[in-house]
Amino acid sequence: MTDKVVVITGGSRGIGRATAIAAASRGFRVVVGYASNLAAANEVVSIIEAKNGKAIAVKCDVGNEHDILALFKAADEFGTLGALVNNAGIVGPTSRVDEMSAERIQRMMAVNVTGSILCAREAVKRMSTRHGGKGGVIVNLSSVASKLGSPSTYVDYAASKGAIDSFTIGLGHEVAGEGIRVAAIRPGLIDTEIHASGGEPDRAQRLSHMVPMKRVGTADEIANAVVWLISDEASYVTSAILDVSGGR
Ligand code: NAP
């Protein structure tokens, strides 16, 4: 158990929601970031508080640096930062590259890549022993798309997750001597609303036959891996990428 603060971007729904609830059950004070769905974020806070945990909801579009600075300011007022989960991520509608607009690609990279790097910057400033911090953990949500490339679906998304893999390795090495561990999880097909936001609500179920385990995963199965990585049980794990994908 810990009483440190964990910042979870996109903590209002899906994998972030499950991670927020799981982290609170291990004693973390949870900052639930959300982009626009205040009701969903408040529900996560209520669930945590009903179990005597501590949580706050903070609006933060990670595509906006000003929002990120406000998110970490709120976290500072809530306690000592011990972990960041870079969970917020978006997909676009199914599309070939030769059909993609510059605006779509720029937004994809702004949210999935720049947002994660800026959040990590703020976390390192607070957790690194180089800056007087006490150490901590950063977990980035990548995707098996970084290996598969997602042809004719969303190559831009896959490329953004490839960037997250490289970022995880590099930042992990950069801060390994400063008390900070950095890891990524590559989920496979997980049953959340992200598929509906890409215009294909049944995508995960439809493709489940391609998973060696022949089923989609749950948000809780990803959350369990995240809370292990942010715990001391993973104390020798850094610059590591863990596939949680049913073998995909
Ligand atoms: P989801 O169900 O669509 O939930 C997305 C969450 O992120 C929501 O809390 C949403 O907030 C928030 N969000 C969306 N855009 C944001 C932005 N610009 N700034 C900050 N927060 C934002 O997604 P999910 O399936 O849980 O995915 C979570 C992460 O896992 C993503 O990085 C995704 O790429 C990765 N992943 C998912 C799967 C999968 O199959 N589900 C597979 C591989 C990787 P609001 O509630 O306010 O909208």
- How far apart, in whole angstroms, are the C-alpha atoms of residue 45 and residue 56? 6
Amino acid in position 201: P
Dihedral pair phi/psi, residue 229, rounded to 5°: -65, -35
Q: Does the C-beta of 168 come closer than 6 Å to ligand 1?
A: no
C-alpha 10 to ligand 1 mean position (Å): 6
Per residue in 144-194, pLDDT (tens digit) is 999 999 999 999 999 999 999 999 999 999 999 999 999 999 999 999 999
Q: Which of 7, 8, 9, 13 to mutate to test the pocket of ligand 1 (most atoms within 8 A of CB)?
A: 13
Q: Does the C-beta of 110 come closer than 6 Å to ligand 1?
A: no
> Which ligand 1 atom sits closest to the C-alpha of 61?
19
> Which ligand 1 atom sits closest to the C-alpha of 63?
18
pLDDT at site 3: 85
- Which residues carry out catalysis? 157
- How far apart, in whole angstroms, are the C-alpha atoms of residue 158 and residue 163? 9
Q: Does the C-beta of 15 come closer than 6 Å to ligand 1?
A: yes
Q: Does the C-beta of 92 come closer than 6 Å to ligand 1?
A: no
C-alpha 145 to ligand 1 mean position (Å): 15
Closest CA to 42 of 17, 63, 23, 79: 17
- How far apart, in whole angstroms, are the C-alpha atoms of residue 180 and residue 137? 5
Q: Does the C-beta of 40 come closer than 6 Å to ligand 1?
A: yes
pLDDT at site 2: 73
The 3-state secondary structure of 91-110 reads CCCCCCHHHCCHHHHHHHHH
Catalogue all structural domains in the chain, each as residue range(s) with its CATH number. 5-244 (3.40.50.720)
pLDDT at site 1: 67
Per residue in 11-67, pLDDT (tens digit) is 999 999 999 999 999 999 999 999 999 999 999 999 999 999 999 999 999 999 999
Per residue in 88-117, pLDDT (tens digit) is 999 999 999 999 999 999 999 999 999 999
B/e letters for 78-112, b = 16+ CB within 10 Å, e = fewer, are bebbbbbbbbbbbbbeebeeeebeeebbeebbbbb
pLDDT at site 61: 99
- How far apart, in whole angstroms, are the C-alpha atoms of residue 181 and residue 229? 9
Q: Does the C-beta of 13 come closer than 6 Å to ligand 1?
A: yes
- Please tell me whether residue 150 adopts helix, strand or coil conformation: coil
